[in-house]
Amino acid sequence: MVLAALTGVGFTYAYAEQPALVGIDLQLEEGRLHGVVGLNSSGKTTLCSLIRGVIPHFHHGDLTGEVVILGRPLLDWDPAELSRTIGCVFDNPFTQISGIRETVFEEIAIGLENLGVPRDEMIERVESVVEQLGIEAIVEKNPNELSGGQRQKVAFASIIAMDAPVVVIDEPTSQLDPEASEAVFEIIEGLKHRGKSIVLAEHKIDLLAQYADTITVMNEGTVVMHGPTRDVVGSDEFGAYGVVPPEVTELGRRLAAAGKPLDRLPIKRAEAFDEISVRIGRSTHAH
Amino acid sequence: MASSRFATFMRGYGRLTIFMIPIGIAINFVGGQIALLLKLPVYLDSIGTILVGATCGGLPGALVGLISNGINSITSPPTFAFAILNVAFGLLAGYFGRIGVFRTWWKTLLSVLPFAFIGGFCGALITIWVFDGLAVGGGAIVVGALTAMGMDLNTANFAAQLPMDVLDKVPTVLIVYAIIKGIPKRLLVKLPLGRVYLGQPNPRAKKPVATTATQP
Amino acid sequence: MTNNAVAAVADRYRQPMTLGNAVLDIHPIAMVAGITALIVVGLASAGWIVPLAVSALFVGIAYLAGRGPSYLVTILKLWIAVGLILFALRALLVKGETVLVPLGPIAITREGIENGLRFTTAVMVICGGVTLFFAIVSMRRLMLALERIGVSPRVSYVILASFQAITDLGATARVVLDAQKARGIETEGNVFVRARAFFPVLAPVFLTAMTATEERAIALDARAFNNPGRHTSLLNLKPLTAVDTVLVVLSLVVAAAAVTGGILGWF
Amino acid sequence: MPIELNGVGFTYPDGSRAIGGVDLRVDDGERLAIVGQNGAGKTTTVKLMNRLLLPTEGEVLVNGASTAKRTTAQVARDVGYVFQNPDDQLFAADVRSEIEYLPKYLKWPDEKREERCARAIELTGIGDHLDTNPKDLPSAIRKFVAIAAILVSECRYVILDEPTAGLDSRGLALLHGMLDRLGDEGVAVITITHDMRFVIDAFRRVVAMADGAVIADGDRRDVFLDDDILRRSRIRRPDAAQLARDLNLSRRALTVDDVVELVP
């Protein structure tokens, strides 16, 4: 099935002077990791909010066009059902902790409590999520006293425990250091392998290039590029919308400009390694 | 039963109000703490009550007042006798908010009179009824001194309370006014009384049709 | 921590909640009944000896619950801050026939002292009871018990989140104080200098907290906070036990007897 | 006049030691990046520079005078500090009032106020948003508003805490332009950051910290050359530099341009 199908979608927040989304046509498949990139205020967050149903059920405004989520028009969804079907994690680790539970274990269970899951099943699910995310060491800690990175992981765990088939993630690493960011991406990849569909807005293009299946580039409220990650990131057009390409891609481009093009433009570290070692091998053979 | 009634009540106030109440309560406490941190001689312990009343309505404001006093009475039980004052502040702030008092600074400043009247006059009445005019707190020493000088006990209570409350409420309402000016539009849109501060009603602020249709 | 340790934590949640102390494990609702009955006994008496005895009993209960020392400190502070002033004001200002110590325009009278003792011990028995309750019943347990009898989880959210918000905003206030100092705003000096710093410190704290409610609402909604169905609970609060029930019945009897006794002037 | 940390240590009242034995000197107009893992002592070090903390050992001198003898607000006239989260600093109802707050607070004459404000607004590129409520702006622009509110002062040193977090390429370009302009004016910039690409693009001098101590202080090439330093401070080389190493092209290559040169 199609995760989200948008046709001619526009949205203007109540009291905003300019529309946040304009004429969006986009189709996202289920079971994949979709990356969304673009400048600040290019519409990434608004797009995520729309797919999650936070628009228009929470943020009011003027919505035009057609949004179909998992085969059903967005406005036909019951908000509570939509929140069970599509989990969401966003950038601020501090607002995602409930503030009403005393241990991480209890914090992760909140969603399950609200869904009315029986206690024994709840405990098993929390236990398994704790193991998946490797946060065994903090299960007994007070969630209100954790570091930003730890909180972000707990926020992830809470959503994963609810086992929603779709997860929308908005800049989950913006406040994390490189090591923690990489860990979060590994968690996201794990989700995909367990059959979840993921929409991920993110600035760290190096990481997206490694992990995402498709990339959507947004600019001034509209989708300017969409397609498989390699096609989008490797395209000459990519840099035109203010997104900094991965360092290895930039390296590939500069090599081409210096008259030493690689056979294939790398978008991942490993690709760059392979391409350049082939080149070195060839040139040492030539000598 | 109680659960569904509270849910229905809160839904009438929009989805943000329930999250504003704890913040209002915390503001009541932290306002006082910041005053303490800067060693300022004011209490400022009802900013949150009036702020939530002014932006979310009288009942949420009253709840902030009630729970704040409840939490205070955990460590100082006699303060609970004065909870009704904080409830009244919240209700009054809701009414003032609705009629646009906090939109202009001079109207805001005028609102000090009714707030201080509640705080001072009704506060004194409670002291007289519940504690026979001899309660504790900052005013008690003044009351004692005034009585010792020969003033009637009840008069002494009014004389001590009113000016103290005016001194406390002037900065309180001005802070509320300034904070409301600083609230971003995107948040104001979602607060029950937000439209008062946004000026003209916005045609785009209407609720989506489907939400109302699917709400139980 | 190993997986075994996590399994141990998980197992703890499977068992009914116990705090390892018979008094602490009393059901919060039975506790409300018991403490209220004791307060009623104290208030029903016309003298000051019974309320004082009840106050002492509260201290005893706190020791049985293993919270004695901290409760004693709290209650002594209350006696000094509240009780002493209430007593002194009455002793000094209540007019009476039997002057014990004349002090210029006012005088300490026997009536004043009696009135003061009665009123002070009555107020302090209420203080002692309320303080004891919150010293031995955690807010979390209380809200859980209330949810059991039909109080909305939203109500317990509001109460529990308030406590956390007070802590969080207090912490933010200290960060903002630093941020504004770093910007050149003076926070030390005379009262006018400090007063000028008040708004720049308070406004970011309050505005940030208010704007964060939007994200908080979405984050909790994502965790099915608005799910209309029945909610379950990870914590396993024991239902009212036989002991709890006996305690509730006993409390009602004692309270009723005390009120009757008070009216008939027994004590 | 420099900022000098001489044998500085800081221990929190609860007894936990944040940094110890730190010697560091920042000269006028210098640009310096402090890198290291969370908890390495970076934040404590910069907080000591503008007296948000007072050293428990050693001394901190700003323009030759010990910070212990002045208030934080006074030291802030020389050493400005932009917090990572702009929301900790912003409170006015519109951007203009936010920028003008300090000049009005210090009662500067109109001419000076206007000149300083115009400069701060231009440096940070926020001219289009002067009448907007800062809280209504996207976080990247809020960040520049917070920077402008500090730059309006006459400080000769600016501390930027994670300035690139959440910035897009447009914001990055603006930031680089701003750093260059500050350099021309002789204002020193000290940054603490996790963004190694930013460090390599904009800073020559790099200080690496680990476990509360300075473990390297020098030219970026030397710092990024040393595997031991990188391991101890948990820093990762940017992709291009790491590639050059993995492929045995060069141990000193650092930027994309370096690697382009080396590939046959």
Give the DSSP per-residue string, chain D: --EEEEEEEEE-TTS-EEEEEEEEEE-TT-EEEEE--TTSSHHHHHHHHTTSS--SEEEEEETTEEGGGS-HHHHHTTEEEE-SSGGGT--SSSHHHHHHHHHHHTT--HHHHHHHHHHHHHHHT-GGGTTS-GGGS-HHHHHHHHHHHHHTS--SEEEEESTTTT--HHHHHHHHHHHHHHHHHT-EEEEE-S-HHHHHHH-SEEEEEETTEEEEEEEHHHHHH-HHHHHHTT----HHHHHHHHTTS-SS--SHHHHHHH--
Work out the average pLDDT over C205-209. 92
Summarize pLDDT for C122-136 with one digit per residue, the tens: 888 888 888 889 888
The mean predicted confidence, pLDDT, of chain D is: 91
Q: Hey, what amino acid is at A215?
A: I
Q: Which residue has the higher pLDDT, C266 or B33?
A: B33
pLDDT value at residue C206:
92
**Domain, as residue range, for A178:** 2-245
The whole-number pLDDT of residue D49 equals: 93
Q: Which is it for the CA torsion B193, B196, B198, B203, positive or negative?
A: positive
Same domain, A138 and A237: yes
pLDDT at A142 over 60: yes
Quote the CA–CA distance of B120 and A247 in Å, as a whole number: 67
**Please, which pLDDT band fits residue B9 given cuts at 50, 70 and 90?**
low
What's chain C's average pLDDT? Answer: 84
Burial B10-23 (b: 16+ CB within 10 A, else e): beebbbbbbbbbbb
pLDDT in tens, B171-207: 999 999 999 999 988 888 889 898 888 875 544 444 4
- Do A169 and A283 have their domain in common? no
Quote the number of domains for chain B: 1
Predicted pLDDT at D61: 92
> Nearest to residue A223, comparing CAs of A55, A35, A61, A58?
A35
Q: How confident is the model at residue A141, as a pLDDT?
A: 92
User: A136 and A277 share a domain?
Assistant: no
Task: Look at residue A287 and tell me whether its pLDDT is greater than 80.
Answer: no
What does the pLDDT read at residue B4?
53
- The residue range of the domain holding D246 is 239-264
Which has the higher per-residue pLDDT, A62 or B146? A62
Alpha helices in chain A (DSSP H): 44-52, 54-57, 79-85, 104-115, 119-133, 148-161, 178-193, 205-211, 229-233, 247-257, 269-286
Q: To the nearest whole angstrom, how far is the Cα of B210 from the nearest Cα of chain D?
A: 28
Cβ neighbours of D197 in A, within 8 Å = 247
> Which run of H or of E encompasses A23?
strand A21-29
pLDDT at C44 over 90: no
Chains B–C, number of C-beta pairs less than 8 Å apart: 173
**Does A251 lie in the same domain as A117?**
no
CB atoms within 10 A of CB B208: 16
Q: How far is D1 from chain A (nearest CA, A)?
A: 33
d(C-alpha A200, C-alpha A203), whole Å = 10
3-state secondary structure (DSSP) of residue C238: coil
Residues C76-117: tens digit of each pLDDT: 888 887 788 778 777 777 666 777 677 666 677 777 787 788
Neighbour-count burial of C104, counting CB atoms closer than 10 A to its CB (0-12 exposed, 13-18 middle, 19+ buried): exposed
Residue D92 confidence (pLDDT) above 60: yes
Q: Which of A140-149, A210-219, C48-57 has the lowest mean pLDDT?
A: C48-57
List pLDDT tens digits, range A199-220: 999 888 888 999 999 999 999 9
Res A13 pLDDT > 80: yes
| pLDDT of B19 | 93
Q: Is C218 exposed, middle or buried (0-12, 13-18, 19+ CB in 10 A)?
A: buried
CA distance C262 to C46: 7
- Nearest chain A residue to B207, by CA: A60
The residue-averaged pLDDT of A132-153 equals 88
The Cα D76–Cα B131 span in angstroms is 51
Please check whether residues A73 and A195 belong to one and the same domain.
Answer: yes
> Is the same domain home to A138 and A271?
no
The residue among A46, A83, A135 with the most chain C CBs within 10 A of its CB, best to mutate, is A83
Look up the CATH number of the domain holding residue B87.
Answer: 1.10.1760
Between chains, do B34 and C226 touch, taking CB under 8 Å as contact? no
Distance CA C55, CA C65 (A): 16
Instruction: Please tell me the distance in Å from D149's CA to the nearest CA on chain C.
Output: 8
Query: A119 and A212: one domain?
Result: yes
C123, C83 Cβ separation under 8 angstroms: yes
- Contact map slice: C 152-181 vs B, CB within 8 A: 152-155, 157-159, 161-166, 168-170, 173-174, 177
From chain C residues 165-224, the ones with a CB under 8 A of any chain A CB are 165, 167-168, 212, 215-224
Which residues of chain A lie closer than 8 angstroms to D263, CB-CB?
A: 255, 260, 276, 279-280
In DSSP terms, which residues pair with A167 in a beta bridge? A87, A198
Closest-CA distance, C13 to chain A, in angstroms, reads 8
Domain count, chain D: 1
The residue written with tokens 């189709």 in the block is A27
Distance from CA of B185 to the nearest CA of D (A): 7
- Residue C7 amino acid letter: A
C-alpha B88 chain-centroid distance:
8
Residues A191-199 have a mean pLDDT of: 92
Q: Assign 3-class secondary structure to chain B.
A: CHHHHHHHHHHHCCCCHHHHHHHHHHHHHHHHHHHHHCCCCCCCCCHHHHHHHHHHCHHHHHHHHHHHHHHHHHHCHHHHHHHHHHHHHHHHHHHHHHCCHHHCHHHHHHCHHHHHHHHHHHHHHHHHHHHCCCCCCHHHHHHHHHHHCCCCHHHHHHHHHHHHHHHHHHHHHHHHHHHHHHCCHHHHCCCCCHHHHHCCCCHHHCCCHHHHHHCC
**Contact between chains at B175 and C199 (C-beta distance less than 8 A):** yes
**Beta strand pairing call for A166-170 and A86-89:** parallel
Sorting pLDDT into bands at 50, 70 and 90, what band is A47? Answer: very high
Q: Indicate if A253 and A225 belong to the same structural domain.
A: no
Mean pLDDT of C224-240: 84
Across the range B70-76, mean pLDDT stands at 85
Distance from C-alpha of A118 to C-alpha of D36, rounded to nearest angstrom: 45
pLDDT of residue C248: 86
Average pLDDT over residues D216-229: 90
Please tell me what DSSP assigns to residue A241.
Answer: G
Give the closest residue to D51 by CA, choosing from D26, D80, D31, D23: D80
Q: Evaluate if residue A157 carries a pLDDT over 80.
A: yes
Shortest distance, CA A107 to any CA of chain B (angstroms): 18
- Indicate the helix (H) or strand (E) that contains A228: strand A222-228
Q: Give the distance between the most distant pair of CA atoms in chain B.
A: 70
Q: What is the pLDDT of residue B6?
A: 59
Alpha carbon separation from A174 to A15, D162, D166, D199, D201 (Å, rounded): 28, 11, 6, 17, 20
Show the tokens assigned to D135.
């809280």
Would you say the C-alpha torsion B53, B59, B62, B66 has a positive or negative sign? negative
Read off the pLDDT of each residue in C158-175 and give the average, rounded to a whole number.
Answer: 92
CA C222 → CA A115, A159, B129, C209, distances in Å? 11, 8, 49, 20
Residue B136's pLDDT band (cuts 50, 70, 90): low
Relative to beta strand A214-219, strand A222-228 is antiparallel
Inspect the interface and report whether the beta carbons of A149 and D38 lie closer than 8 Å: yes
Secondary structure (DSSP) of C163-226: HHHHHHHHHHHHHHHHHHHTTT---SSSHHHHHHHHHHHHHHHHHHHHHHHHHHHHHHHTTTTT
Is B84 inside a domain boundary?
A: yes
Nearest Cβ partner of C224 from A111, A123, A136? A111
Provide mean pLDDT across the span B131-141.
Answer: 63
In this predicted structure, what is the pLDDT of residue B7?
A: 57
Q: Give pLDDT, residue B138.
A: 55
A127–C7 CB contact, under 8 Å: yes
Element (H, E) at A24: strand A21-29
Residue D252 within a domain: yes
Owning domain of residue B27: 2-201
Average pLDDT value for chain B: 80
Give the nearest partner residue to B150 out of C105, C168, C203, using CB atoms: C105
- Per-residue tokens: A93: 């680790």
In A, which residues are within 8 Å of D234 by CB distance? 179
Angstrom distance (rounded) from CA D190 to CA D31: 6
Query: How many of the other CB atoms lie within 10 Å of CB of C253?
Result: 11
Confidence of residue B140 (pLDDT cuts 50, 70, 90): low
Contact D93 B186 (CB under 8 A): no
Nearest-by-Cβ selection for C105 from B2, B135, B148: B148
Q: What is the pLDDT of residue A54?
A: 87
Q: Which positions in chain B touch D91 (Cβ < 8 Å)? A: 182
Mutate to test the interface with B, among D136, D139, D142 (most CBs of B within 10 A): D136
Q: Which residues of D11-29 are buried (b: 16+ CB within 10 A; e: fewer)?
A: eeeeeeebbbebebebeee
Predicted local distance difference test score (pLDDT) of residue D34: 95
Grouping H, G, I as helix, E, B as strand and the rest as coil, residue A33 is strand
Q: What is the DSSP letter of C24?
A: T
Q: Which tokens belong to C204?
A: 């970011």
- Residue type at A115 in one-letter notation: L
How many structural domains comprise chain A?
A: 2
The count of C-alpha atoms lying within 13 angstroms of the C-alpha of B31, restricted to the half-sphere facing its C-beta, is: 28
Q: How far apart are CA D209 and CA D39, in angstroms?
A: 9
Q: Ranked by mean pLDDT, which of A280-284, B21-25, B211-215, D26-30 comes out on top?
A: B21-25
Query: What's residue C115's pLDDT?
Result: 79
Rounded average pLDDT over C224-231 = 83
Residue of C183, C192, C205, C211 to mutate for D, most D C-beta atoms under 10 A: C183
Residue of D nearest to C175 (CA): D88
C-beta of residue A130 within 8 angstroms of C-beta of residue A83: no
Q: B26-63 pLDDT, tens per residue?
A: 999 998 888 888 777 777 889 999 999 999 999 999 99
